[in-house]
Amino acid sequence: MIHIAHWIGGAERAGESGRVGPVFNPATGEQIAQVDLASAAEVAVAVASAKAAAKAWREASLSKRSAVLFKFRELLAARTGELAAIITREHGKVLADAAGEVARGLENVEFATGVPHLMKGGFSEQAATGVDVYSIRQPLGVVAGITPFNFPAMVPLWMCATAIASGNAFVLKPSEKDPSAANWLAALWAEAGLPEGVFTVVHGDKEAVDALLTHPDVAAVSFVGSTPIAKYIYETGTAHGKRVQALGGAKNHMIVLPDAELDAAADAAISAGYGAAGERCMAISVVVAVGEIADPLVEAIAARLPKIRIGDGTDPNSEMGPLINAQHRDRVAGYIAAGADAGAKVVADGRDISDRPGFFLGATLLDNVTPEMTVYTDEIFGPVLSVVRVDTYAEAVQLVNDNEYGNGTAIFTRDGGAARQFQFEVNAGMVGVNVPIPVPVAYYSFGGWKASLFGDTHMYGPDGIHFFTRSKVVTSRWPDPGTSSVDLGFPQTR
């Protein structure tokens, strides 16, 4: 049995709490490892190590920090396959998808190599006579990242690339369901020359998270996970004086207008609905079919379903792997039953294959779903696509805008005017036009609206630099000696 330890002070460090959690291979259902779960005392040791490292790292020159980022980028690009294999073993997603996750994380590292430019402030000469004003951005110190199971490499990279580049020491609390990617990244940072203590991993559950949220030396918490936990993280972290960005769950709608290209829309619904077995925060879970396209669209999606190759993610022929664990598989299956009971039409039922070893569930398609059904209201996070039929574009947009979540959304149409109107009026943070999963490139920032994000700053890109730094404005004067005088009036800029 593999034992997964913490990474503190530049090396693995076995847990001392006596508590461990199981890690499974979802394709076989077997437990393959156990991970240490940190106590509050162990979190304190990790934060102290990060704090000790933060000062020297902040003082390292921009070019030195950028050089470490470049080296890390080269190593990660060269060894993507190694990390992808770790992700597939513990998460279950197919190898190509795992490599795709690493590639999107790599983009964030590439963005962060430009930190000398990203940290530039502004300068105003002669703001008043003989007075210059300029702004600088400085790191916060020790910052923490708490991440979900579904992207065990990409989401930590979303956070740590900008946090570290901008001069902070970063403490990662990864998901306890697939924790090995975090340690692999820690070893890679060390190989890239990052000083020990600047990237730390503490494994754990609520106990470790609570310790980070209340620790006085943690200045900021970046979180990605489900909405109830995101809300808790935001409220607890801010109540303890921390800067918090907490990204939550999603229910992403794809609107298909009657003029859309049918095959492209059906292909997109399949790719975005069932990729990673629906365990993506940007997965499409609701197709909103407008008008007469509904029948042919459902038919086209249904025709593609039997062709999805479901199997062990390590098999290069597999296109869709299992779910993360048995409990989650059963929960998703429960939603299929609830949808059928509530009157949805089960066009394809993924429960047919749930007796395989491992945590598999097949691709499921529900038609005639209505907004009060739990398959519509709840985030299912599995390979279940619901089709809601509406008569008009206005009804479709209303549906998206009334939804509790506002992460991503997409419209499929050949009408540029309709697409523009949609991006203007839809209440969601990321919008796709004929693009079903509009994850922004690394030089924009990622984030949803409504219950999909608590806080105001989005993840990575320019917002990431903003989140992990604070600004300071300097007003400076170098008067000639002997020219000063007392003036009790309020300073004015003449």
In the bound state with ligand NAD, the residue whose beta carbon lies nearer, of 138 and 214, is: 214
d(CA 115, CA 122): 15
Task: List the interface residues with ligand NAD, window 155-184 (CB under 6 A).
Answer: 155, 173, 175-176
Give ∠ CA 219-221-226 in degrees, rounded to 5: 165
Which residues within the stretch 244-303 sit at the binding site for ligand NAD (CB under 6 A)? Answer: 247-250, 281
Please identify which residue in the block is written with the tokens 């990321």: 430
* 168, 452, 457, 469: which one binds ligand NAD (CB under 6 A): 452
Least distance in angstroms from the C-beta of 462 to ligand NAD: 17
Amino acid at 37: L
Closest alpha carbon to 325 in 279, 256, 393 = 279
What angle, 0 to 180 degrees and rounded to 10, lies between the N-to-C axes of helices 416-425 and 393-402?
A: 30
Residue pair 445/289 in contact (Cβ under 8 Å)? The answer is: no
Question: Contact with ligand NAD (CB under 6 A): which of 55, 64, 206, 472?
Answer: 206
Q: What is the DSSP letter of 194?
A: P
| Candidate ranges 11-19, 99-107, 148-156, 257-265; the one touching ligand NAD (CB under 6 A) | 148-156
Catalytic residue, chosen from 209, 276, 281, 344, is 281
Is the distance from CB of 333 to CB of 351 less than 8 angstroms? yes
Q: Does 98 bind ligand NAD (CB under 6 A)?
A: no
Indicate whether 448 belongs to the interface with ligand NAD (CB under 6 A): yes
Burial readout 336-353 (b: 16 or more C-beta within 10 A, e: otherwise)? beebeeeebeebbbbbee
> Kind of pairing, strands 408-412 and 2-4?
unpaired
User: Using CA atoms, how far apart are residues 140 and 218, in angstroms rounded to an integer?
Assistant: 9
Q: Around Cβ 217, how many Cβ atoms within 10 Å? A: 14
Q: Please indicate whether residue 281 is annotated as part of the active site.
A: yes
Could you say whether residue 226 binds ligand NAD (CB under 6 A)?
Answer: yes
Residue 148 in the binding site for ligand NAD (CB under 6 A): yes
Count of residues interacting with ligand NAD (CB under 6 A): 27
Which of the ranges 34-42, 67-75, 202-210, 343-351 carries the binding residues for ligand NAD, by CB under 6 A?
202-210
Interface mask toward ligand NAD for 398-437; x: CB under 6 A: ---------x------------------------------
The single-letter code of the amino acid at 263 is D
Of the pair 148, 383, the CB lying nearest ligand NAD is at: 148
Question: Active-site residues: which are they?
Answer: 281
- The binding site for ligand NAD (CB under 6 A) comprises 146-151, 155, 173, 175-176, 205-206, 209, 224-226, 229, 247-250, 281, 379, 381, 407, 448, 452
